[in-house]
């Protein structure tokens, strides 16, 4: 999934990059020349799919640029299996979790908030992807992610509450 790949690219350490047409989900399967991407569609604004894709990338770029943890923060993988990953980017003031799942089923993953001096009742904000739901069970926090989705959620450390 292109959106999932973009979320990962924009939240992992390093510089994200876009190839021409990515921002409107331009197809890479040119029917005229093998191995070449279609020419850029300068009438993209007439396509609802292209407008939605551009809005998605604008939001993702805004999140990346506005969150210090995504630009300069440390990185830690918290959970990974064959089809799901949860990792954090963090500074002293905030923790950003990114979850992505290519599973066909909804996943529930333990959120180790105490590792980051975060209480389960602290402030959080979903930065991208309504597919992420944080829930508490047995005094532990979990993140639920829908099938074939990715999302970004920010928590503030207990000292910044």
- Tokens representing residue 129 in the block: 């992807």
List phi, psi (to 5°) of 108.
Answer: -125, 120
Which pTM does this prediction carry? 0.86
User: For residues 107 and 144, is the Cβ–Cβ distance under 8 A?
Assistant: yes
pLDDT tens per residue across span 38-74: 777 777 788 788 888 889 989 999 999 999 999 999 9
- Per-residue pLDDT, 161: 44
For each of the chain's 161 residues, which pLDDT tens digit applies? 888 999 999 999 999 887 776 777 766 665 656 667 677 777 778 878 888 888 998 999 999 999 999 999 999 999 999 999 999 999 988 899 999 999 999 999 999 988 888 876 677 888 998 767 787 777 788 899 999 999 999 987 655 44
């Amino acid at each position: 999934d292109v959106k999932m790949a973009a979320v990962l690219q924009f939240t992992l350490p390093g510089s994200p990059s876009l190839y021409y047409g990515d921002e409107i989900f331009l197809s890479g399967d040119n029917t005229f020349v093998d191995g070449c991407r279609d020419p850029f569609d300068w009438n993209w604004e007439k396509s609802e799919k292209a407008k939605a894709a551009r809005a998605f990338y604008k939001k993702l770029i805004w999140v990346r640029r506005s969150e210090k943890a995504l630009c300069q923060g440390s990185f830690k993988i918290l959970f990974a299996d064959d089809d799901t990953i949860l990792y954090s980017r963090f500074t002293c003031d905030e923790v950003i979790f990114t979850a992505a799942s290519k599973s066909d089923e909804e996943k529930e993953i333990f959120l180790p908030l105490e590792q980051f001096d975060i209480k389960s009742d602290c402030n959080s904000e979903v930065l991208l992807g309504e597919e992420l739901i944080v829930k508490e069970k047995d005094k532990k926090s979990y993140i639920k992610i829908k099938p074939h989705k990715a999302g970004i959620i920010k928590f503030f450390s207990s000292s910044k509450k």
